[in-house]
């Protein structure tokens, strides 16, 4: 009597396993096709943007050009920045010298 149920249990398990694998396969296929559609849309959008940029290269060049007043202003501020950085370096040198003198005086007092 039990010999009759053993093949039914194995057969049912086999059918359920195949059904489960078929459902998983269909879901993965569905997800893959939807991802391919999204990727295709993104590629098309990127191509449209690239074509738009290549068509507007001249307008970009015009926007990036400096006016004479902007150039003069930038040059003045660049000179001021260079002057500031040089003064800052001099201040660092002077403070380092002061610290060195102070440390040498302390060392002389300790040695005496």
Q: What is the pLDDT of residues 75-112, one digit of tens each?
A: 899 999 999 999 999 999 999 999 988 888 877 777 76
> What confidence tens digit (pLDDT) does each residue in 39-49 have?
999 888 888 87
User: Which residues have C-beta within 8 Å of that of residue 51, sequence separation ≥ 6?
Assistant: none
> What confidence tens digit (pLDDT) does each residue in 60-76 have?
555 566 677 778 888 89
pLDDT at 74: 86
Distance CA 10, CA 8 (A): 6
Average pLDDT across the chain, whole number: 85
Residue 58 to residues 12, 62, 65, 67, 74: CA-CA distances in angstroms?
A: 71, 6, 11, 16, 24
Would the pLDDT of 55 be above 70? no
> Structure pTM?
0.40
């Amino acid at each position: 009597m039990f010999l009759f149920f053993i093949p039914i249990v194995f057969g049912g398990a086999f059918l359920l396993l195949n059904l489960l694998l078929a459902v998983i396969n269909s879901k993965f296929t569905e997800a893959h096709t939807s991802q391919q559609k999204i990727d295709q849309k993104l590629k098309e959008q990127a191509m449209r943007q690239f074509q738009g940029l290549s068509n507007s290269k001249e307008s970009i060049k015009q926007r990036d050009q400096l006016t004479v007043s902007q150039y003069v202003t930038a040059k003045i501020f660049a000179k001021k920045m260079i002057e500031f950085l040089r003064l800052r370096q001099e201040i660092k040198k002077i403070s380092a010298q002061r610290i060195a003198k102070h440390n040498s005086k302390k060392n002389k007092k300790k040695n005496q």
